[in-house]
Structure 1
Amino acid sequence: MLHDPTDLAAMAEALSRSADYRVLRRLVPRPVSPPAFGQEVRTGILLDTETTGLEHAKDELIELGMVKFDYTPDGRIVGVRDTFSAFNEPSAPISAEVTALTGITDEMVAGHRFDDAAITAFAENAVIVIAHNSGFDRKFAERYWPLFEHKAWGCSMSEIDWRKHGFVGAQLGYLLNGAGFFHQAHRAVDDCHALLEVLAFELPTTGLPALALLLETARKATMRVWAEQTAFELKDSLKRRGYRWNDGSDGRPKSWFIDVDETALEDEIAFLRTQIYMQDVEPTVQRLTAFTRFSGRI
């Protein structure tokens, strides 16, 4: 039996008002709209990449998706300004593993090349670039297009404590479901549209959109503390504290490190002195901002 779409919408609305049901709506990308007038807005870009592998120094980009959007200084999304989607043929065949993961085949990318000038023009007026794993996407974007070295970046996966706000994890599809949508993602730009709705979602804990929380975090400086030359048997203590291991292959120290707020720096150094080194050491500390965080240059 067929239902009028308006009937289905009314049924979904009725169900969503009940505490016994949760309704997921198919994500329909927001249409492109002209710049908003009469209110102060800034322009951001949501970016997603697909690659031939995980190593930014040698693997290649095979797809780039971007959604340009306007937002108010307090983090409310006003509208979509433009979208970008493109394939790029790599220098070697795409592996079966990558095709299984991304759905991208050699036939899909054959003959395609990124238009570097178009990508630079698309992104040049953005004040922030946001990816759902900026630690991965920024390194690739910077290698291909130097413009991205000079942009502020935010990470919607790591710079929002999703668990604190009622989500079990930070996987994009799960967050999208939590915001009331589902999508059948095929392209990188589809994930950008999904991320837009996740960032527009008002967190029940704050009453503000998730983007507001991300911007607040991204605007703060963080301190990267390197715990170099530590005893092997102390690795579990460092892990429990939140330290991560860097294997030295990227030119950075072969060492444990942690990123903390500026206000927590003294406590972190005290932990290293009393629990790890047992002496008055001065660990290497780097100050990171949105302009340097997640970059392969740091």
Structure 2
Amino acid sequence: MKLYDQPCASAAMRLHVQALEARAEDYRVLHRLPHADEIWLSPTPSTGAVTLGVIDCETTGLTDTDRMVELALAKIVIGDGQVVDIKPPISMLEDPCMPLSEDVRRVTGLNDEDLWGHSFDENLLATELGDVDVLVAFNSAFDTRFVRQRFPHIRHPWICALWDFDWAGAGYQSRNQTGLLAERGHFYTAHRAAADAWALLVLIANPAPDGRAIAAHLVERGQQIDVRVSAAGAPFHVKDDLKAAGYRWQPDRRVWRIDVAEADATAQVDFLRALHPLIRPVVQEVDWYNRHCR
């Protein structure tokens, strides 16, 4: 991500920052997230641009009976692997008709009075989604569940910033959004939908090691067709073997599963059958419409 020079409080402050950054072995300087007008945009290609809708939602909790109380949508347009346009987030609130827990109030800063009488503007949301090709959240397994529950008519494909990009392979050590942005030299106040959506947009606007925007890699990965292999009936004592082989536990379905390329599916089935006779391998094709759905 290329930035225009960000305004500094004063020339003296700029000198202090430069002095600290020159001593990287002793200090790390974190900057606020850039504003939209501080991000350099590439020329828009004549064809092939993809618009990503960057989603974040805040909820009353983590269970299937909880409700979404805040939704934000930002947009980033990718063309020829580069950022060609961005749109800051819109956000909206909705009254869940139930008191917020103390934990939710503490984490988000929202209270019952903030939400009272509010409803999501479905017409505005439909308009904003009109030019969106694919939705992205940091942990899409969480956001897709609440978005599709509240807006069943939204049928966009989804990609996941957490799982659809090889952060470790790109040299990152963190696995959460705040930490990843800190590695890029930024900080922000998390756990409000608009702030989190903008933070994710900034994160995926950054370049991958090959020079293309991370968002371009997310789209490329999302469009791939995979095979999901589930280890139905796996006994408890083989969980470490499954975890070591890259399988992830899905608590809602109570099954270990892995997504692999179609060419690798047979090897996974053979692995499961050899691991334990009680395991019944289940094979399912997945794409960006169902990859991150429960």
Name the TM-score, length of structure 1 as normaliser.
0.85
2:235 to 231, 237, 241: 231
Residue identity opposite 1:54 in structure 2: L
Q: CA deviation at 1:212?
A: 2.5
Deviates more, 1:126-135 or 1:172-181: 172-181
Q: CA deviation at 1:82?
A: 4.9
Show the 5 A alignment for 1:168-187.
168-185=173-190, 187=192
2:29 to 23, 27, 30: 23
Q: Secondary structure at the match of 2:220?
A: helix
Q: CA deviation at 1:240?
A: 2.1
Matched residue, 1:80: 86
Partners in 2 of 1:37 and 1:72 — Cα distance?
6
Q: Does the aligned pair in 2 maintain the 1:42–1:73 contact within 8 Å?
A: no
2:109 to 103, 106, 114: 103
Q: Does the aligned pair in 2 maintain the 1:222–1:287 contact within 8 Å?
A: yes
Q: Secondary structure at the match of 1:124?
A: helix
Matched residue, 1:261: 261
Q: Secondary structure at the match of 1:46?
A: strand
Matched residue, 2:50: 42
Q: CA deviation at 1:160?
A: 1.5
Partners in 1 of 2:104 and 2:232 — Cα distance?
35
2:194 to 165, 189, 199: 189
Residue identity opposite 1:267 in structure 2: A
1:215 to 214, 219, 223: 219
Q: Secondary structure at the match of 1:190?
A: helix
Q: Residues 11, 92 of structure 1: CA spacing in aligned structure 2 closer, same or farther, 3 A cutoff? A: same
Q: CA deviation at 1:132?
A: 0.4
Partners in 1 of 2:42 and 2:128 — Cα distance?
15
Q: CA deviation at 1:39?
A: 4.2
Matched residue, 1:243: 247
Structure 2 unmatched runs, 5+: 1-7
Q: CA deviation at 1:290?
A: 0.8
The answer as to 2:289 corresponding to 1:295 is no
Q: Does the aligned pair in 1 maintain the 2:52–2:135 contact within 8 Å?
A: yes
Residue identity opposite 1:100 in structure 2: R
1:58 to 61, 65, 88: 65
Partners in 2 of 1:13 and 1:196 — Cα distance?
26
Partners in 2 of 1:70 and 1:172 — Cα distance?
20
Q: CA deviation at 1:102?
A: 2.1
Deviates more, 1:46-55 or 1:156-165: 156-165
Q: Residues 64, 233 of structure 1: CA spacing in aligned structure 2 closer, same or farther, 3 A cutoff? A: same
Q: Residues 201, 37 of structure 1: CA spacing in aligned structure 2 closer, same or farther, 3 A cutoff? A: closer
Q: CA deviation at 1:117?
A: 1.6
Q: Residues 209, 15 of structure 1: CA spacing in aligned structure 2 closer, same or farther, 3 A cutoff? A: farther
The answer as to 2:175 corresponding to 1:167 is no
Residue identity opposite 2:54 in structure 1: L
Q: Residues 284, 91 of structure 1: CA spacing in aligned structure 2 closer, same or farther, 3 A cutoff? A: same
1:5 to 7, 10, 14: 10
2:128 to 114, 122, 129: 122
Partners in 1 of 2:221 and 2:45 — Cα distance?
27
Residues 200-253 of structure 1, C-alpha deviations (whole Å, 9 max, x = no match): 2223x3333222322222121221111112233222222222323334x5xx5x
Q: CA deviation at 1:143?
A: 1.1
Q: CA deviation at 1:190?
A: 0.9
Structure 1 unmatched runs, 5+: none
1:142 to 140, 148, 160: 148
Q: Does the aligned pair in 1 maintain the 2:78–2:216 contact within 8 Å?
A: no
Q: CA deviation at 1:54?
A: 0.8
Q: CA RMSD in A?
A: 2.7
Matched residue, 1:67: 74
Q: Residues 230, 215 of structure 1: CA spacing in aligned structure 2 closer, same or farther, 3 A cutoff? A: same
Q: Secondary structure at the match of 1:89?
A: coil
